[in-house]
Amino acid sequence: MRKQISRRNVLKGTLAAGVGLALPGCLATAAPFSRVRGANDDIRVAVVGMQNKGAQHVRIFHELPGVRVVALCDVDRAILDRQAKPFADRNEKVDLYVDFRRVLDDENIDAVVIATPDHWHGLQMLWACQAGKDVYVEKPVSHNIWEGEQMVKAARKYKRIVQAGTQRRSDPGMQEAVQYLQEGNLGKILLARALCFGRRMSLGRVSGPQPIPEGVDYNLWTGPAPLEPLKRKQLHYDWRFFWDVGCGDQPNNGVHFVDLCRWLLQQDDLSVPVVSVAGRYEWADDGETPNTHIVLWDYKPAPILLELRNLPRAKGDPAMDHYRGVRFGIVIECEHGYLAGGWAYDNEGNKLKQFLLDDGAGHQANFIKAVRSRNPADLNADILEGHLSTVLCLLGNISHRAGQETSCERVREALRRSAPAAEAFERFEQHLIANEIDVSETCATLGEWLRYDPNRERFDHLGPTAGLLANTLLRRSYREPFVMPERV
């Protein structure tokens, strides 16, 4: 793996022994090789979080040769029972758990797949490593930057195989495209664009606390976050758009494409200058995170630029915008052409080479391969890579949250130093106008230009107000007993 700055070298290597977090009913300091896993027998998998992605993981892992899904876990009993039914129909035994800590007690589980809400990823992954289990953790791998660093430390200390859910690294077509560009077939890379143009609808408003769905253990659902009354129409899925438990669409979907850009550029520097321009437009709802977002990571010589849109291309139009034909994906601009939508083009738009993309369908199989080999280098998306890409997205969110609403003119002035960001903002503004959003006075939230120092674990070069707020967002307060330990 590439040479890293000093803080990152600490995260990569074998770490000094820390104080383990004692888990109720679980041996937190379990020996990581209490039995040889996967050498001559099935890998026994538990899937935690049964909505959407978790249900997909159950199906995929169940179909892998040499793998048995032996346990399911969810705090919603109705969802848990629904996912257990196919096992009953096949007359297959599967254990059911509501409390994740009971999964850790189960010695018949070798690996845990974490598909829970963002705010649970860090602690569940760390506990699983302490319990001697390998982990597949969905993206974004962490809810805040500090806990992501703790996750990498835990994987290294307990010698666990930990795969991040940035599955496009397991796409053979994308692997071929990365090699093609890195070999210089289109010349030097000038700009890496990450694009997420996906329609979403308003969450609506509620007038007060909502009832918790029957069969849900809301205390366990909330876990490390503040135990507040439910103040949205849906408990499930819509949590993504609330800061206490989710990270918004930028780290949710955008992390896939930011990760591909970082991979192509071979970048792992977290001290890159970053700035955000964003807003939550049109929807007069309870959601907190942006639905239209630009983030620039000003790498030299080639920056990464993310654009996210949840509104249509125009008011009343069901279609979405695209950039060079891409709605979800990357556009890599080079000296002699560009990559977009699985094709390499020359500068005149002529197709040069096609890459057949499958969006990383083999990612779970890659995880199992590494579980068997006990070699983290076999992973296509080791936890460190997932952490680095997640950090970039979280930095974009912090820039936004430390920013202020302002005029289009002031945004243009702030972005003048970056031609790609300035051009993206021109299209951002036109997109708002096409959706009949008044930008005459307040145009967007202009985030602070931030530079994170990973060695000191804080931001530098900030004004006093922005700096204070930005640095408080690097980690969170945890609710007892769901606390991420200072030493793993």
Which pLDDT value is given to residue 40? 54
For residues 365 and 61, give the distance between their C-alpha atoms in angstroms, rounded to a whole number. Answer: 8
For the range 234-243, what are the long-range contacts, defined as Cβ-Cβ under 8 Å and sequence gap of 24 or more? 234/203, 235/210, 236/51, 236/76, 236/79, 237/51, 237/52, 238/203, 238/287, 239/117, 240/117, 240/118, 240/289, 241/203, 241/287, 241/288, 241/289, 242/287, 242/288, 242/289, 243/288, 243/289, 243/401
For residues 148 and 154, give the distance between their C-alpha atoms in angstroms, rounded to a whole number. Answer: 10
Q: How far is CA 301 from the centre of its chain?
A: 25
3-state secondary structure of 473: coil
The DSSP secondary structure of 51-105, one letter per residue, reads STHHHHHHHHHHHSTTEEEEEEE-SBHHHHHHHHHHHHHTT---EEESSHHHHHH
- In this structure, the chain runs to a length of 488
For residues 392 and 383, give the distance between their C-alpha atoms in angstroms, rounded to a whole number. Answer: 14
Q: pTM of the entire structure? A: 0.93
Element (H, E) at 333: strand 328-334
Contacts of 296 (CB under 8 A, 6+ apart): 274, 275, 276, 303, 304, 305, 306, 415, 418, 420, 421, 424
3-state secondary structure of 20: coil
Report CA-CA distances (Å) from 11 to 21, 265, 296, 455.
Answer: 19, 21, 26, 11
Q: How far is CA 400 from the centre of its chain?
A: 17
What string of pLDDT tens digits covers the 488 residues of the chain? 333 433 445 444 433 333 333 343 333 333 333 344 444 589 999 999 999 999 999 999 999 999 999 999 999 999 999 999 999 999 999 999 999 999 999 999 999 999 999 999 999 999 999 999 999 999 999 999 999 999 999 999 999 999 999 999 999 999 999 999 999 999 999 999 999 999 999 999 999 999 999 999 999 999 999 999 999 999 999 999 999 999 999 999 999 999 999 999 999 999 999 999 999 999 999 999 999 999 999 999 999 999 999 999 999 999 999 999 999 999 999 999 999 999 999 999 999 999 999 999 999 999 999 999 999 999 999 999 999 999 999 999 999 999 999 999 999 999 999 999 999 999 999 999 999 999 999 999 999 899 999 999 999 766 556 667 899 999 999 999 999 999 99
Element (H, E) at 353: strand 351-354
Q: Are 404 and 446 in contact (CB under 8 A)?
A: yes
For residues 295 and 287, give the distance between their C-alpha atoms in angstroms, rounded to a whole number. Answer: 20
For residues 249 and 230, give the distance between their C-alpha atoms in angstroms, rounded to a whole number. Answer: 21
Residue among 360, 142, 410, 126 nearest 257 (CA): 360
